[in-house]
Copies of this chain bind each other. A is one copy, B any other.
Amino acid sequence: MTTTAFIGLGAMGDPMAAHLARQARHDGAKALVWNRTTTKAEAHAAKHGSVSVTLPEVAQADILFTCLPTSAEVDGIIGQLAPHLKRGLTWVDCTSGHPDAAKRQRRQLAELGVNFLDAPVSGGTGGAEAGTLTVMLGGPAAEVEAVRPHLAFAGKAVHVGETGAGFAVKSINNMLLAVNLWAAGEGLVALANSGVNVSAALDVINASSGRSNATENLVPQRVVTREFPCTFALGLLAKDTGIAVDVVNSVKGSAPVIAQTAALFRAAARTVGAEQDHTAALKLIETMNQKEIK
């Protein structure tokens, strides 16, 4: 019987932990939850049958999942849990973290007899609720295979490389999201200023070679509608693009478009607001061109 624990019941973590609770119920096992705001954990327990516990109790699980804003918060939890961690525990960090942090955290936890895997997820809140998230795992193959049956929130789980590789791939994925989204914004605002109907342009682009997740889903659903519903904050995407730049720099890579786009997303987070939806980055493009994309 494997006991899981989940720390970080945010927009992503809450439904992810619900899938763990569902599987635990099915297996006759226990799914512990902890959150900085205790009431959220208690509500989760009430709603999904998980068990709301204290932080030290979490440390007695077999598999501990974390899903926090950045690697810095994971460092904070490691510090608090260090005296309590059960030897043999596997720590699966679903944060969109930093590859360098993963390597350091793995070394640090190894001294306490704890395994650490980086396991960021993609798919948004929709994928988290549907249990169809894509998980990118970094770490030794044996440890990855051992946790694979317990990723109840995943539709797909891929072992992408050694420790840190999961975070690296996630950052590049989000960087591509950022580039594709930004370029779509630049192109569409120029068409709008040329008198072209933006929706007609999206219609043909999405049946053509320039299509991407950004043009197929994000721009029509969030930008053209002017709704910009906040499911993934611009400040977090800007942070992820910064990690991607670090990934490039750590191999002394040359990536001029990635470098520029990261700078522009940082500017967007500063000028549009880090707490806005990530698609609101295009409002900076709209300001730069004095035209709305609609």
Contacts and interface: CB of A to CB of B under 8 A. Distances in A.
A177 B253 contact: no
A92 interface: no
Contacts of A150: none
Contacts of A175: 183, 187, 210
B264 A194 contact: no
Contact of A168 (B160, B196, B207, B266): B196
A172 B187 contact: yes
Contacts of A4: none
A210 to B, nearest CB: 3
A39 interface: no
A122 interface: yes
B134 A212 contact: no
The CB with the most chain B CB atoms within 10 A, among A124, A173, A271, is that of A173
B187 A250 contact: no
A266 B287 contact: no
Interface in A187-238: 187-191, 193-197, 200-201, 203-205, 207-215
A221 to B, nearest CB: 13
A212 B247 contact: no
A179 B82 CA distance: 45
A262 interface: yes
Contact of A270 (B134, B197, B289): B289
A242 B250 contact: no
Contacts of A183: 175-176, 179-180, 257-258, 261
A146 interface: no
Interface of A: 99, 122-124, 134, 136, 155-156, 158-162, 164-165, 168-169, 172-177, 179-180, 182-184, 186-191, 193-197, 200-201, 203-205, 207-215, 242, 244-264, 266-267, 270-271, 285, 287-290
The 7 closest A-B pairs by CB, nearest first: A176-B210, A212-B212, A122-B208, A259-B259, A267-B288, A193-B251, A186-B255
